[in-house]
Amino acid sequence: MKGRVADRALVTVEPIADGSAIEVGDVVLCSVHGSQYLHLVKARNGERLLIGNNVGGTNGWIGPNQLFGKLVRVEP
């Protein structure tokens, strides 16, 4: 199984002012331990998001202060 976004792909991320606009299945740009990553949203618990990858793995919960934006486009 392959990821949704290939390594080094050109992407467009739209800033989000309100994390409530994020839904399960969205791909978000977030900060994890000081680095920025694109991750799939697997679940919600209030303002917290469970992030993971496209092959079934989960990476943990993030809060709204770790969220930068939502993936809106991947260049072919």
The larger pLDDT score, comparing residue 55 to residue 28, is at 28
What is the band of 1 on the pLDDT scale with cuts at 50, 70, 90? Answer: very low
CA distance 40 to 60: 11
Spatial CB neighbours of 65, under 8 Å, sequence gap ≥ 6: none
Q: What pTM does this model have?
A: 0.89
> Which amino acid, 27?
V
Domain positions in the chain are: 11-74
Contact of 23 with 70, CB cutoff 8 Å: no
CA distance 63 to 48: 5
Q: What's 54's DSSP letter? A: T
What is the band of 2 on the pLDDT scale with cuts at 50, 70, 90? Answer: low
**Tokens 């917290």 — which residue?**
48
| 11-74 topology per CATH | SH3 type barrels. (2.30.30)
pLDDT in tens, 5-38: 888 889 999 998 878 889 999 999 999 999 999 9
